[in-house]
Structure 1
Amino acid sequence: MLAGISTSGVVLSTLIDAADRGYRVYVLTDGVGDSDPETHQVLVDKVFPTRAHLLVTTRLCELL
């Protein structure tokens, strides 16, 4: 489960490492952010879905 304020840094590198190691990765789309809105949007819309499950925090209870 990933969240953080550096979508293009910490979140991206952690997601790639975890996915490469075979972990099931979830990114909280309303829990990530970046100083560059365009980069953030490209990552969330195009890159993250290829390696992780995306969900909003209000849907966390569905995982339990």
Structure 2
Amino acid sequence: MAPAPQDARRIGKVLGESAQEAGKASFTAPIQTVAWITLGLLATTFAVSFLLPTRARDEEEVLELVAMGDH
């Protein structure tokens, strides 16, 4: 027995609503999590960049340090 057109519309509506809810749960939440993780990593990188020296060492300084380590 074939379903009546009214039943088909109700089934379509229920399936459409379920699909939208499933899409939100299985797509939106992970994307938000990834966005927050990315933002956190960028903020951490920005903060840690201030720990770097303001200028690079001269070649002479590097050679002295290497020579000291060879003892």
Category of TM-score, reference length = shorter chain: under 0.3
Greater share of helix residues, 1 or 2?
Answer: 2
**When the two structures are superposed, what TM-score results if normalisation uses the length of structure 2?**
0.23
Q: Which has the higher contact order (CA 8 A, sep 6+)?
A: 1
**When the two structures are superposed, what TM-score results if normalisation uses the length of structure 1?**
0.25
Greater share of strand residues, 1 or 2?
Answer: 1
